[in-house]
Structures are given as C-alpha cells and as structure tokens.
Structure 1
Amino acid sequence: MYSTLIDAATLARHADDPKWVVLDCRHDLLNPAFGREAFAAGHIPGAQFASIDDDLSGPKTGAGSTFRGRHPLPERAALVEALRRFGIDGDSQVVAYDAHGGMYAARLWWLLRWIGHEGVAVLDGGLPAWQAAGQPVTADLAPPRAPGRIAERPSLTRTVSVDDVVSNLSTQGFTVVDARANDRFRGENETIDPVGGHIPGAKNRFFKDNLGADGKFKPAARLKDEFAPLFASPSSAVMQCGSGVTACHNLLALEVAGLPGAALYPGSWSEWCAVAERPVATGA
C-alpha cells in the first residue's frame, strides 16, 4: 500500500493491476476547461479524469446562500458516489497525478483520507516525471470499470471551520499556514484574489517550496526542517490556501516529513474574504 508518494517506475509495474485506479487531476484556476482538454490530448494509459470542480468539490453556497469558498468540500455521500464511479473499492490502490507538482492531485489524496481510505498516493513529479521516465501517454480512453464499492471509514484527517478560525484570532490556539504564492499572501495579485491579503497572524509556506528543482518532493528530512519553525507541533497547525486545494499539498508534504496531524481549513481565503467584517492583513 502506498499512502503518500509513488514513483513512475512503481506505477508502471502495476499498469495492468485491476486493484489500481489512476486518476488525472489536471486543472487550471483561470481556465476550467483545461483539465479535460489536456486529458483528451494525452494521459497515462488506463487513467480516468477527475474534475476538481465537478468531482472533487461541492456547491459554493450552503444553507441560507452562505458562500462556502471557491472549492468547498463535497458532501461525503456525493464524494463516495463519485469515487465508486471511478471503480474504487475499499482495497483499491489509488494514484493521483497532475502536471503541476501535485498541487491538484494532493486534493484527491486528502479527500480519500477524509473518508478513511489509506491506499492513495500522489505520483511524485506527476506527468512530467512519467514521461521523463520514458513511459507512454495515450489519447485513448480506458474501458469502463465496474462500479466500485468504496465506503466511508473513520476519517484520517481533520478540518476546522471559518468560525474556528475567527475564534482563533483571539485565542491563538493554532497557527494558520497559507499555501498561496507570496504575492497573493501579501495582497498583490488581484487577478486571482480580488480581495488581497491573508488572515491576520497567518504564516506563508508556498506549496511549491515543498518541491525540488526536479519537480519532485524534497527529502523527508529537509521538509521536516523547513516546516519545523512554522508551528509548535503539527496538531497545532491549520493549512489553508485560496480555496482549500493547494493547502492539501502542504498536508501531503507534512505526511512525507513524518509530521502528521495538521488540519485543513477547507473554505480558506476565498471563504474568509467574502465577508467584509473579517479582518485582513497585507504585506509580508
């Protein structure tokens, strides 16, 4: 069972294993059609496309038309149904990949852990690493899989709500770590964040800082050294980003580093800044 990262050679050895399910999670925040188009143009043989918007997120508004963020968590039952459509069973090994250093694949990794499925890993280096290893891509669609039988189990993750984060402004019971790029954290990128800045007291750990020059995750010891100054302990840390997607990359990096236990704030900045009364900090 692989529960954090997997390399291209290992995935290739299991290309014909019926217990393995490979999901392509490519996406573009500014071009929602990108993922499906990229998948149609070429993907890992046998892979299926998992849409960040349609399969891995829920409705943007909740009870009373409350805005829940740009990529809210799906309802658990809806997520289970989506995973069954991909043919995932309770004992399946799931492999998620993208072409962006794992920034979207990590969302699927986290969601499966959220419903208690441990056998899920991110392809280290993604599609570029697969191709660099001389492995093939195809535009052909895999034959349909039989519906899976995955079911909810006790969660392997935890979350905090926007109310928890509001309360934390005064209690300082946990440290918020923001995975967005530095310019977005400082409030200097209006293209993606019309309301710029960050939650007061948050620290910045850009998710790409988890990667080496080769686009793969840094060694565990190095990740551990880099995360250590950010919080007292993983259990006192909450990961967030723009909409709860790339924050999962930091959560994956923490698992790789041997620092499990941090929580996700799913609504993240897009939910936080939607209410003008919530305070905003700018700058470094």
Structure 2
Amino acid sequence: MSYVFISIKDIESANYKWIDARFSLKDPGEGKRKYEEAHVKNAVHWDLNDDLSNLHEPGGRQPLPRKDELVELFESSGLELDDKIIVYDDGGSPFATRAWWILQYAGFKHAYILLEGFEEVKAAGIPIDSDKPQVERTTVTPNWNESIYASRQYVEETVEGERDNTLIDARAAIRYRGETEPLDRIAGHIPGALNFDWEQLKENNVYRLDKQLQEQLGEIVDDKKEVTVYCGSGVTATPLYAMLAHHGYDNIRLYVGSYSDWVSKEDAPVGVINPQ
C-alpha cells in the first residue's frame, strides 16, 4: 500500500510545509476568504481557479496550468522537491487531491493529503493564524512524470482499442448513464468507460481507507491493469486517482480535460446506458 493520505494523529513533527486548498464550486471566493480568516500557520493557499487551473487554456472546464505557470506556483510557495508537504481542504473534498496530483506530476515525492478537514486541524491544536506567511522563494526544477498524465489522444487511442487501458468515470451514475447532464453539452460517458462515483470514497467528509472500499475498487479494475480516471472537469477524478494510488495501483493516469474536453469535439463518440 502506498502512503498517500495522512491523518492528524500521525503527524509526528513540525517539519512539514502546508498547502491550504480550500475552495467551493458554488462560491469560488469562499476558499480565499476562509484562508484569510484562519489557516495552518505558514500555510500557503492554492486556489482551484487561480492556481490549480488555467481557465484561459483549451482542454475542458478546469484545464491544467502550463508547466511554467506551475513552476512559478511552486517557487513562489517556497517549495523544494524534497519537502514533506501536507495539503488540506475542508475534508473529503476534491481540491486537496487536485493539488496533490499536480505535486505528483511535478515530481514531489513526499506530498500527502490530509484525511481530515480544517476544523479538525484546529481542534487538534495544530498552530493556526490569519497572517500571510513570509515565504522565502525557491528554485524548482520539476521531474515531470508524464506517465500519470493522459492526453486526449491517449484516451482516443484507448477508445479505439489501441491501448489496453481501463477508463473509469468518477461522476455520479446518473450522469455516467446519460440520464442528465447539468454542465456539458451532451449527456453520456466516454465509450467503454466503467463508473465509480467518487462520492463513495468518503464518509462524513473524511476519505475512507477501509477494507470494504479496497474490495469495491478491486471489483472495478485489477491492480495490475492500466487505469485512466476522469470526471467532468478533471477535479473530482483526483480523489479516485489518489485512492487507487493509496491502495497500490501504480499504473494510473488522470485525463485532466475529462468529459468536458472529450465532448468539446463535435464528432466525439459518446456512450449512454438506456434504462431497462
């Protein structure tokens, strides 16, 4: 089992750098406001829209920032590749996992996702303040890990049968089946994809690490198989990516553009499941 998630009770020293990734899809300014009110002492804030996405780029609703933009984010946050890093949000959200995946992509090997949310952090007595940290800028040369990134072409080759790769759709089953689509231009899923709703990964806003969940994941895909996860925008698939990694799946990719990128092409094939 890989070490992806960390619990407050397992934090044994102060030798971590903290990233606050709180955000709200319903209120995009909420995460910044919460951070300004209180955060883990010396934590930096990474905003989903401003830091973990480049909304001006093509490639779905939450496109990945350019590599030079990510390097600037790392350096201005005072990070180094060997740092021990903890990323947190409000608990059981996909924002810390998105930040964590980006750190994995860049080659940070000691980054962890906090199981609990910020309120539990406060209750545990970890130092909290509202001051903007004085960050000492660093120089970072990422070791980009392209083996965890799935391009649109990669997914197209999977759909066409040119790759032995299992696609897993992390959205709710009703969207996967094509019964409704509140955000993208056409309902359905990428042809051939299986479905595992990311909401199953958590309980009471804490990610589950129990044996039953591991067995549920094993029913979807074998841990020896190559897996590519996606969702609507490349955000809520990251908890599924992280959970698979935690349980020892070591051949996983994230289709960052996800379904919103897939259906941006008019002639993209779409699968639907008609109710019986």
TM-score (norm 1): 0.85
- Point out 4+ residue stretches in structure 1 off by more than 6 angstroms: none
Give the 3 Å change call, closer, same or farther, for CA 81–173 of structure 1 in structure 2.
same
Name the CA distance, whole Å, in 2 between partners of 1:38 and 1:188: 36
2:37 aligned with 1:46, yes or no?
no
Confirm or deny: 8 A CA contact 2:105 2:149 kept in the other structure.
Answer: no
Deviation, structure 1 residue 175:
1.4
Which position in structure 2 is the counterpart of 1:58? 54
Deviation, structure 1 residue 224:
2.8
Superimposed CA distance per residue, residues 58-105 of structure 1 (whole angstroms, 9 cap, x where no aligned partner): 3543xxxxx311112222222121111111012211111111414111
Deviation, structure 1 residue 122:
0.5
| SS of the residue 2:206 aligns to | coil
Which position in structure 1 is the counterpart of 2:24? 28
Equivalent position amino acid for 1:36 in 2: K
Name the CA distance, whole Å, in 1 between partners of 2:270 and 2:212: 32
**Quick check: 76-85 or 163-172, which moved more?**
163-172
Which position in structure 1 is the counterpart of 2:6? 6
Pairing partner for 1:122 from 113, 117, 131: 113
Percent identical residues: 28
RMSD: 2.4
Deviation, structure 1 residue 33:
1.6
Which position in structure 2 is the counterpart of 1:149? 139
Superimposed CA distance per residue, residues 125-171 of structure 1 (whole angstroms, 9 cap, x where no aligned partner): 22243245355644x12431100233212528422221222232231
| Paired residue total | 272
Deviation, structure 1 residue 194:
4.4
Name the CA distance, whole Å, in 1 between partners of 2:169 and 2:59: 18
2:219 aligned with 1:229, yes or no?
yes
Name the CA distance, whole Å, in 2 between partners of 1:144 and 1:48: 10
**What are the within-5 Å matches in structure 2 for residues 37-186 of structure 1?**
37-61=33-57, 67-133=58-124, 135=126, 137-138=128-129, 140-153=130-143, 155=145, 157-171=147-161, 173-186=164-177
Confirm or deny: 8 A CA contact 1:125 1:215 kept in the other structure.
Answer: yes
Give the 3 Å change call, closer, same or farther, for CA 131–187 of structure 1 in structure 2.
farther
Give the 3 Å change call, closer, same or farther, for CA 269–122 of structure 1 in structure 2.
same
Name the CA distance, whole Å, in 1 between partners of 2:264 and 2:186: 8
**Quick check: 238-247 or 168-177, which moved more?**
168-177
Name the CA distance, whole Å, in 2 between partners of 1:21 and 1:189: 41
What are structure 1's unaligned runs of at least 5 residues?
62-66
What are structure 2's unaligned runs of at least 5 residues?
none
Which position in structure 1 is the counterpart of 2:259? 269
Give the 3 Å change call, closer, same or farther, for CA 234–276 of structure 1 in structure 2.
farther
Which position in structure 2 is the counterpart of 1:64? none
Equivalent position amino acid for 2:271 in 1: A
Pairing partner for 1:243 from 233, 242, 262: 233
| SS of the residue 1:196 aligns to | coil
Superimposed CA distance per residue, residues 170-218 of structure 1 (whole angstroms, 9 cap, x where no aligned partner): 3162111011122332334543334322112211111121224462332
Confirm or deny: 8 A CA contact 1:90 1:117 kept in the other structure.
Answer: yes
**Quick check: 25-34 or 99-108, which moved more?**
25-34
Confirm or deny: 8 A CA contact 1:207 1:249 kept in the other structure.
Answer: yes
Whose strand fraction is larger, Structure 1's or Structure 2's? Answer: 2
